A and B are shown apart, each in its own frame.
Chain A
Amino acid sequence: MSEEKEGLFSKKNRQLLVNPLDDNNPITVQVLGICSALAITVKLEPAIVMSLSVLFVLSAGNVIISLMRNIIPSRIRIIVQLVVVASLVILVDQVLKAYLFDVSKQLSVFVGLIITNCIVMGRFEAFALGNTPWKSFLDGIGNSAGYGLVLVIVAFFRELLGSGALFGQQIIPDSFYEAGYMNNGMMLLPPMALIVVGIVIWVQRARNTNLVETN
């Protein structure tokens, strides 16, 4: 077993953290989690809250699934995964409602979105079921960071061009509006999120030619 001797942050383990940021990004390369990327990127703040929630749920869920990987009956593994993610999310929501009420108000909208996020189920199925808890934890952090990165980029452009603001603060000066500048209402609607994600994918592949399909 070479795993035993492997350092906590060996090269292979670092890859688990870094790869999903670019080469194996869950949104732009694996094309997972698109629905939530459309739904909550109208403004920066909810996008960041969502990224942090996914970070928690995915890394904790990955560890739990990985710990149970040898005892989960393979025929009901998807159901087990769903139960783990759903109960984690509900548990977190309950605790927040009691102790961090204001955060829970922000988060309440995302509860359903986190449970149905295909990245969470995708990582449970593809990684945590076959790897050790520590690796699964790193994989969870890496993938949710990759997801969050794209979310923040998309939300940045949508809020800036759609509302003329960032984090709810007006950025585009009043003099622009007086000179005839108008916010692009289209940016607030889901189609523009797809187009922005498309542009992100384009820029990423122009820079990182390994990702370009050869056929």
Chain B
Amino acid sequence: MDTNKNSYTFIFALVMVIIVAFTLSFAATSLKPLQDANLKQEKMQNILKTVGVNLSREEAQIQFTNYVKKGIVIDNKGNLVEEKQGNEIEKGIAFTLNMKSEWKRKPEIQKIPLFVAEVEGKTFYVIPLNGMGMWSDIWGNVALESDKNTIAGVNFDHASETSGLGAEITTDWFQKDWKGKKIMSESGEFASVVTVKGGAKDGDNHGVDAISGGTVTSTATSDMFSNRVKLYMPYFNKLK
């Protein structure tokens, strides 16, 4: 057989592409339910982690409603759009919302998700975050204490930040620095929390250490934080 003939080359390429396309789409569709289940468990695990409940993924799914009491959706004026409780939370908009596409819609019609958790009698507000890192998406959650000002915990994750540099946003040392910071200034204005290159000063309520060599991702993380968290201010003001 002459493998250099044009017709052979075309047929070979065609057959190869069909086989590969079939194999990959078969793998993708047949594995999708398992992958989605893993993602759902991970989301629950991450939400619980910000309020100080560290569980395995499987355990997180079972215990989720023991801690997370409400999944609510608000609009940009602070009005309540939807409220789900108990086992309904994971079916509600707050939990299933695709934040990446929601985020591109006009502010007036955006749905803004929020979770209310209770741990050992204390109430926490968990805000899901979503933004753009250096290479691709970054996301996470932040839990605020019942004063809606002090950060109880954060977690961040990313799709493809540089390992060892930007990807450090997922590490404990970076995230634990956020704990106890305030999102409001002394005068009651929204002040957010920013990453400081070279390290935040002691006693700075609005600054955390940035990552050496990961400046772009660090800045993107604090931008994401302020862009998302400020959307909840109208709602928090109404609660007061």
Q: Are B20 and A83 in contact (CB under 8 A)?
A: yes
CA distance A112 to B4 in the complex (A): 31
Distance A40 CA – B3 CA, assembled complex (angstroms):
40
- Cα-based distance from A39 to B164 in the complex (angstroms): 8
Residues of A within 8 A of B213 (CB): 185, 188-189
How many chain B residues touch the partner (CB < 8 A)? 30
Complex interface bits, B1-28 against A, C-beta within 8 A gives 1, otherwise 0? 1011000110011001100100110011
Instruction: Report how far A188 CA is from B164 CA in the complex, Å.
Output: 8
A82-104 to B contact mask, C-beta < 8 Å, 1/0: 01000100110011011101000
Max count, chain B CB within 10 A of own CB: residue among A73, A95, A108: A73
Q: Do A109 and B3 contact each other (CB < 8 Å), given the known contacts A73-B12, A91-B27, A94-B31?
A: no
What's the Cα separation between A73 and B16 when bound, in Å?
12
A94 in contact with B27 (CB, 8 Å): yes
Q: Report A-chain residues with C-beta under 8 Å of the C-beta of B167.
A: 109
Contact of A98 among B12, B24, B38, B160 (CB under 8 A): B38
For residue B17, which residues in chain A have a CB less than 8 angstroms away from its CB?
A: 83
Taking beta carbons and an 8 Å cutoff, which residues of B are in contact with A?
A: 1, 3-4, 8-9, 12-13, 16-17, 20, 23-24, 27-28, 31, 34-35, 38, 42, 57, 159-165, 167, 212-213
Cβ contacts A to B, 9 pairs, < 8 Å: A40-B164, A42-B163, A75-B4, A87-B20, A90-B24, A91-B23, A101-B42, A108-B160, A188-B165
